[in-house]
Chain A
Amino acid sequence: MLFASFDFLLFLVVVLAGYWALAGRPVPRVAWCVATSYFFYVAGPKPSVGPLPMPWYFLGLLIASTLLDYGCGLGIEAARRARGLEPGAGTGRAGRAWLLVSLFGNLGLLGYFKYAGFFSEVVADAATLLGVEGRLPVLRVLLPVGISFYTFQSLSYTIDVYRGRLPAERSVLRYAQFVAFFPQLVAGPIVRAQELLPQLAARPRLRREDVDVALFRCAKGLAKKILLGDFIAGSFADSVFAAPAQYGSLENLLALYAFTLQIYADFSGYSDIAIGVARLFGLRLPENFNRPYQAVDIADFWRRWHITLSSWLRDYVYYPLGGSRRGPVRTYVNLWVTLLLVGIWHGASWNFVVYALLQGFAMVFNRFVSREIKSPLVKLTRAAAAALAVGLGSELLAFFVLKLPSFGQFGLVAFALSFGVGLLPSVERWPALRPLPVLLTLHYCVFSRIFFRTESLEAARQMARSLLDFSALEVRSGLFRIEWLAAWARVPALGWAEPLAEWGVLLLMIGGFAAHYGPSRSIEHGTVRLLPRVPALLVGVGFAALLGALSLVQAGPRPNIYFAF
């Protein structure tokens, strides 16, 4: 089910009514939550365009994963008791076999549905390159919605039980509610069991403040997703990404900016709605975004973007690998592996492999150049060495992956930029310099989005070539036009709106970025403070008016980008 749909409004009213009617009866309340969450998972709208949603019986995978980890949690706890370890004591390990069952089960599910097709393509390609006769079959597996999210969420539970951080959940219903709670089921935030299970165990309370915050978060999330996400994509960016070679350098660059804004608005908007809706149930979900495009370096970016995923990988991959405790070389390896997993978590294709490598190497570079060093000569040498590595890596990327004719120049520019970055002083010591690293980090993200968004490696190449061609440094007429606004602007009295109509999409993009970098936080806080003074009826009418206005630009419900991961 999509948040931005009438279905969801109908669904939410019924679910909330049932939930609060059963507030004092824990078992029926939890059962109601689980049943309605499962219904949410399978009851999608009919798509106006795009493929059909997954069939209802994919719910079985979610239930299977839930039961598997519920059982493994109990098994681990039994093993702990057998060794005299208190559940939730925080010390000691026991029940490794159960943990392995959970790991193999969840990662096996994820591996098959998400990566089997890609691996079969890789094998088929390799076989053909080696001259093996005939074409090997390539698997095409339908990806269950949300599998990357709920498997990770479930795994965090069994790992934490194994580590003794929390006792196993006895109630299968409550555990199922933890895994399947609908606001965060299909696209996060990935919630830890320690955060959510205690809330689910307690009797829920709803405060007036929760209602206003929830409404504000939902309104904000919907506006972000529909206006800055779907509308910009449908009006402009999608056309360029579908055929990047047919657009000029500037048009491709603007499309990348548009997608950079779109993916943030789409995903953070979803998180806003999830957090807001959860508040209506008296539950608190963790924040997932913190103005990521204000990051001063790639490490800062991943502390601000999809926070629950990066912290999950920090706690369950980076630290177990040793974190930064096993020397600098091992630290770089651990960083690289962690970011590689972040990248390929997003998708199974060569594009995401390249995206993951870009993120991994950027993190290693950042770590290498940002250690405090007093000697200017050593700092210079370090920056030069790092820049040389970056330049070489960039040439390899340009030659082998992007197949750019000007790969030498590409490497040179990368060398120069990274040398400059390596010499930049710390933002903590020179705050006035902050815009520069922020701009550089933003543009590194923008560049890596080529691989995130294009539909194939060949399309990524076309886009990169178009970008670096520096030809056609103009924008074709009508590219940013809002058609329905342009139709209104033809009315003589509304002629003043013509420039708005002609450049509307671009203005929206500028507005979106301005909101991201501007003082919108204080505006939001002010709005939330004012909201309680507005009568409830008016709030309802206003909310409906917002939904109506957004529906005019929406042109049919559109799934969130992260539904595909």
Chain B
Amino acid sequence: MSSRLFGPRPASEAPVASGEREPAPALTTPPVSGSAGASGAGAFTRVVGVAIGMSMAIATTYFVPSLAGLRPWIPGGDYLPFWNVVGREWLGEGRALEAEEARLAELPKRARSELRWRAPAPNAPVARDEVPGGAAHATSAAALEPIFPPYTPRDTEPVEVGIEQRGALDAYFRKLTLVDLGRPGAIARTGHWGDSVLGVDGITSGIRRRLQRRFGDAGHGFHLMDRYHPAYLQQGVTFQQVAPWERCFIVWDCRKNERRYGYGGLLAYSSGGAESAWSTPKEGFGQSVTHFELWFARQEHGGRFEVVIDGTRAESVDTRGPELEDAWFSVRVPAGPHSFRVRAAGRGSVRAYGVVLENDGPGVVWDGMALVGGSTRGLRTQNPEHIARQIRKRDPDLIAFMFGGNDLERNYVDLKQSMQPYYDEYTDVLRRFRAGKPGLACLIISPIDHGRRLPNGDIAPKAFLKPLVEAQREVARQTGCAFFDTYRATGGEGTAARWFRARPRLISPDLGHPTEFGHELIAELIAEAVLSGYEEYRARMRGKPFPELAVEGASEPSAAPAEQRPAEPALMPPH
């Protein structure tokens, strides 16, 4: 191999004393001046000939209609030669664009700032509500007269676009109040399903982080058994697929005979050897866990799971049962960082839906279920009794849906004549999910603007977004759910083009998926809207009866804190 840095060492490279000159670099190109070559006449003739040929070719595009797409300039079109001087300065087009660019520059600032400071400062206290007189006073006062205490609003920024039909979230805000008042064991859980826009847990982790910073960190929440797609990547928990599982994802509809895909939409199964591992992160949210729960199914000829905690303690789980039924296995651990492994230990086939990592709170959990390629049409395929059971077990206080990205071509197909099929399927999904917990608060979150690229490079909005968003708003109204118009909150039509121009970019070159900055921005808009709704709720509820406050541990509808919940028949005696 050559050892020279930049070509052969010049012969004059002897030790140089000060004042001696360095070897002169060789000229790389000879000057043309004075060259003894052919005179310029033939060259100029050739240049003129080429120019004429090009002009003829370009002129042809103006006379032949089928070549219209090749015309470099179209009268009345957008093209203006030397725009940066002619258009921007002379014609004054620059001012409006510069103003928009200044506005665009603001957008990623907030996202950039949040991304840089994702982890909370060490020992940062949770900004919970402060009850006048302290918690002891609140408790004793609450024992006599349980009412909503006064609330001091935070300096949350006013939201331009808030949650519509906010009252539909009252049940969720009620739980949040308990969390905010530091009620032991109070956990406000949300299950958030969406299409690939929720990929890499970008939006959901942003919401989770903001709410946990405000109300407390009750853990990461639900995680699938395996990564079915590179875009399924959860933040706040370290996951490793140690040995692969067989997978059946709800979008693939691969279990047509039973359609049980679990809370997160992925069924993982194995006859032995498959293994997944989770561990709490070293910094940021989700560091402390007190209980780990495996979600699986019993079945005839079911095999065994081995659950290993911190590499030392191993538990065996037998999944045999008379028939296919959902089941759960929980382990409690001391509060702190932990690692967990789940392995298919053979003796039959095992089926698993996912795991839950939480602590005892008080705090917030925000489950992010990104269903890449998913839609409400796909969610509808879930077995209704199964999903209701899953919801009942998970016991969320709020379910949220953010779909639409995979429905944008349906205006050419089944939604060409009417949006009624869309209303029906979305309503059906909500009904199935809420069957697991009547009165469950629900929130529909609209998609953002999507773009498509025109031949000249411009970005145009996809036309079906607006009617789709309106349809979702109508579904929310009809079903008693709240609605958040992300489309309007992010700027409405043309947002995809604006976000693509922003630096850093807020949307990917596919003009449909936000970048990490876009995720943060959307998360902030949603979280701020939820917080604003909560503050309005607290102001509205001040002085009103709040019986849950009276009973210690009356934070869960089942009226029992986590450690006292009736144990699931999960731990079988080892064989």
Bound complex: CA of A248 vs CA of B32, how far in Å?
53
Tell which of B12-20, B415-423, B465-473, B531-539 binds the partner: B12-20
Pick the contact of A537 from B47, B49, B227, B238 — CB < 8 Å? B49
Bound complex: CA of A234 vs CA of B500, how far in Å?
13
- Is B50 interfacial (CB 8 A cutoff)? yes
Give 1 or 0 for each of B7-27: 1 = CB within 8 Å of chain A CB.
101000111100101101101
- Is A556 interfacial (CB 8 A cutoff)? yes
Q: In this complex, which of A205, A286, A557 has the most chain B Cβ atoms within 10 angstroms of its Cβ?
A: A205
CB atoms of B25 and A45 under 8 A apart? no
Q: Which residues of B contact A280 (CB under 8 A)?
A: 47
CB atoms of B53 and A6 under 8 A apart? no
- Is B2 interfacial (CB 8 A cutoff)? yes
Which residue of chain B has its CB nearest to the CB of A288? B28
- Is B76 interfacial (CB 8 A cutoff)? no
Bound complex: CA of A50 vs CA of B208, how far in Å?
31
CB atoms of A245 and B22 under 8 A apart? no
Bound complex: CA of A297 vs CA of B233, how far in Å?
37
CB contact under 8 A between A299 and B9, given known A284-B29, A554-B457:
no
Which residue of chain B has its CB nearest to the CB of A302? B6
Q: Which residues of A contact B459 (CB under 8 A)?
A: 48-49
- Is B335 interfacial (CB 8 A cutoff)? no
CB atoms of B33 and A192 under 8 A apart? no
Bound complex: CA of A42 vs CA of B4, how far in Å?
41
Q: How near does chain B come to A218, taking the closest CB pair, in angstroms?
A: 11
Bound complex: CA of A135 vs CA of B112, how far in Å?
13
Q: Which residues of A contact B16 (CB under 8 A)?
A: 325
CB atoms of A207 and B1 under 8 A apart? no
Q: Which residues of A contact B343 (CB under 8 A)?
A: none
Pick the contact of A324 from B9, B80, B89, B513 — CB < 8 Å? B9
Q: In this complex, which of B16, B28, B200 has the most chain A Cβ atoms within 10 angstroms of its Cβ?
A: B28
Pick the contact of B101 from A45, A52, A205 — CB < 8 Å? A52
Q: How near does chain A come to B12, taking the closest CB pair, in angstroms?
A: 11
CB atoms of B27 and A234 under 8 A apart? no
CB atoms of B230 and A52 under 8 A apart? no
Bound complex: CA of A206 vs CA of B37, how far in Å?
9
- Is A194 interfacial (CB 8 A cutoff)? yes
CB atoms of B84 and A458 under 8 A apart? no
CB contact under 8 A between A195 and B509, given known A458-B516, A536-B53:
no
CB atoms of A286 and B29 under 8 A apart? yes
- Is A530 interfacial (CB 8 A cutoff)? no
Bound complex: CA of A212 vs CA of B44, how far in Å?
12
Bound complex: CA of A164 vs CA of B20, how far in Å?
11
CB atoms of B47 and A424 under 8 A apart? no
Q: Which residues of B contact A370 (CB under 8 A)?
A: 1-3
- Is A311 interfacial (CB 8 A cutoff)? yes
Bound complex: CA of A9 vs CA of B50, how far in Å?
13
CB contact under 8 A between A297 and B2, given known A243-B513, A471-B241, A536-B49:
yes
Bound complex: CA of A10 vs CA of B70, how far in Å?
16
CB atoms of B2 and A242 under 8 A apart? no
Bound complex: CA of A552 vs CA of B70, how far in Å?
8
CB atoms of B56 and A297 under 8 A apart? no
Q: How near does chain B come to A93, taking the closest CB pair, in angstroms?
A: 7
Q: How near does chain A come to B85, taking the closest CB pair, in angstroms?
A: 5
CB atoms of B105 and A541 under 8 A apart? no
- Is B566 interfacial (CB 8 A cutoff)? no
CB atoms of A459 and B40 under 8 A apart? no
Pick the contact of A7 from B19, B81, B500 — CB < 8 Å? B81
Bound complex: CA of A11 vs CA of B28, how far in Å?
29
CB atoms of B1 and A437 under 8 A apart? yes
CB atoms of A472 and B230 under 8 A apart? yes
CB contact under 8 A between A537 and B53, given known A198-B33, A202-B32, A299-B3:
yes
Pick the contact of A296 from B1, B72, B497, B501 — CB < 8 Å? B1
Q: How near does chain A come to B23, taking the closest CB pair, in angstroms?
A: 8
Q: In this complex, which of B43, B81, B458 has the most chain A Cβ atoms within 10 angstroms of its Cβ?
A: B43
CB atoms of A208 and B231 under 8 A apart? no
Bound complex: CA of A362 vs CA of B194, how far in Å?
45
Give 1 or 0 for each of A268-289: 1 = CB within 8 Å of chain B CB.
0000000000001011111100
CB atoms of A207 and B40 under 8 A apart? yes
Q: Which residues of A contact B14 (CB under 8 A)?
A: 325
CB atoms of B31 and A202 under 8 A apart? yes
Bound complex: CA of A554 vs CA of B453, how far in Å?
12
Bound complex: CA of A130 vs CA of B290, how far in Å?
32
- Is B57 interfacial (CB 8 A cutoff)? yes
Per the CB 8 Å criterion, the residue count for chain A at the interface is: 127
CB atoms of A206 and B509 under 8 A apart? no
- Is A320 interfacial (CB 8 A cutoff)? yes
CB atoms of A46 and B87 under 8 A apart? yes
Tell which of A351-359, A492-500, A505-513, A542-550 binds the partner: A542-550
Q: How near does chain B come to A225, taking the closest CB pair, in angstroms?
A: 15
Give 1 or 0 for each of A294-308: 1 = CB within 8 Å of chain B CB.
001101101100000
Q: Which residues of A contact B57 (CB under 8 A)?
A: 540-541, 544-545, 548
CB contact under 8 A between A540 and B49, given known A205-B33, A545-B57:
yes
Q: Which residues of A contact B80 (CB under 8 A)?
A: 46
Q: Which residues of B contact A206 (CB under 8 A)?
A: 40, 43-44, 47
Give 1 or 0 for each of A523-565: 1 = CB within 8 Å of chain B CB.
0000000000001111111111100100110111110000000
Pick the contact of B94 from A52, A215, A428 — CB < 8 Å? A52
CB contact under 8 A between A543 and B30, given known A52-B101, A315-B22, A458-B115:
no
Give 1 or 0 for each of B52-75: 1 = CB within 8 Å of chain A CB.
111111100100000001101100
Which residue of chain B has its CB nearest to the CB of A287? B28
Bound complex: CA of A16 vs CA of B56, how far in Å?
19
Give 1 or 0 for each of A73-105: 1 = CB within 8 Å of chain B CB.
000000000000000001111000000000000
Q: Which residues of A contact B504 (CB under 8 A)?
A: 455-456
Which residue of chain A has its CB nearest to the CB of B115? A458
Q: How near does chain B come to A530, taking the closest CB pair, in angstroms?
A: 15
Q: How near does chain B come to A540, taking the closest CB pair, in angstroms?
A: 2
Q: How near does chain B come to A230, taking the closest CB pair, in angstroms?
A: 10
CB atoms of B200 and A246 under 8 A apart? yes
Which residue of chain B has its CB nearest to the CB of A249? B230
Give 1 or 0 for each of A197-237: 1 = CB within 8 Å of chain B CB.
01101111111111110010000000000000000001000
Q: Which residues of B contact A296 (CB under 8 A)?
A: 1-2
CB atoms of B53 and A541 under 8 A apart? yes
CB contact under 8 A between A194 and B40, given known A10-B81, A93-B19, A242-B515:
no
Q: Which residues of B contact A536 (CB under 8 A)?
A: 45-50, 52-53
Q: In this complex, which of B15, B31, B56, B500 has the most chain A Cβ atoms within 10 angstroms of its Cβ?
A: B31
Which residue of chain B has its CB nearest to the CB of A40? B82
- Is B572 interfacial (CB 8 A cutoff)? no
Bound complex: CA of A286 vs CA of B26, how far in Å?
11
CB atoms of B1 and A140 under 8 A apart? no
Which residue of chain B has its CB nearest to the CB of A540? B53
CB contact under 8 A between A284 and B32, given known A205-B37, A311-B6:
yes
Q: Which residues of B contact A128 (CB under 8 A)?
A: 117
- Is A466 interfacial (CB 8 A cutoff)? yes
- Is A379 interfacial (CB 8 A cutoff)? no
- Is B124 interfacial (CB 8 A cutoff)? no
Q: How near does chain B come to A555, taking the closest CB pair, in angstroms?
A: 4
CB atoms of A366 and B1 under 8 A apart? yes
Q: Which residues of A contact B78 (CB under 8 A)?
A: 46
Q: How near does chain A come to B11, taking the closest CB pair, in angstroms?
A: 13
CB atoms of A195 and B29 under 8 A apart? yes
CB atoms of B5 and A299 under 8 A apart? yes
Q: Which residues of B contact A243 (CB under 8 A)?
A: 199-200, 508, 513, 515-516
14 residue pairs bridging A and B, Cβ less than 8 Å apart: A44-B83, A51-B501, A51-B503, A164-B21, A204-B33, A239-B510, A245-B231, A296-B1, A314-B5, A324-B5, A325-B16, A537-B50, A548-B61, A552-B69
Which 4 A-B pairs rank lowest in CB-CB distance, beginning with the nearest?
A556-B457, A540-B53, A536-B49, A202-B33
In addition to A207-B35, A540-B57, 13 A-B residue pairs with Cβ atoms within 8 Å of each other are: A6-B79, A125-B116, A165-B21, A195-B29, A205-B35, A242-B505, A284-B30, A287-B28, A315-B25, A323-B13, A325-B15, A540-B52, A557-B457
